[in-house]
Amino acid sequence: MESTNTIRYRGPQGPWEGPMFAWRPVQDIHGKRHWLRKIYRREKNRMVWPQQGWEYGTIFDYLRDA
């Protein structure tokens, strides 16, 4: 039986950076699009070269991973 209190490995992402302003539409990690508002971003995979891109999130994602 699997415990519900386990911590899941989320991969080798970097720390959240921001807040920054979304001048262009971006899609966050939940699939919602944000435009003309404050967002946070982090690197998708810091362990590889070249850089794999960015993931975007809201203040709630930032606080959840803090």
* Count of domains forming the chain: 1
Q: Is 57 exposed, middle or buried (0-12, 13-18, 19+ CB in 10 A)?
A: buried
pLDDT reading at 3 higher than 70? no
Position 53 in a domain? yes
pLDDT reading at 66 higher than 80? no
For residue 13, the model assigns a pLDDT of: 80
Helix-, strand-, coil-residue percentages of the chain, each rounded to 5: 10, 30, 60
For residue 45, the model assigns a pLDDT of: 80
Position 27 in a domain? yes
Position 38 in a domain? yes
Position 21 in a domain? yes
- Residues 9-63 have pLDDT tens digits of 566 788 899 899 999 999 999 999 999 999 999 988 877 777 788 999 999 999 9
Position 25 in a domain? yes
Position 2 in a domain? no
- Element (DSSP H or E) covering residue 33: strand 33-34
Sign of CA dihedral 57, 60, 62, 66: negative
Residue ranges making up the domain that contains 49: 17-64
For residue 2, the model assigns a pLDDT of: 55
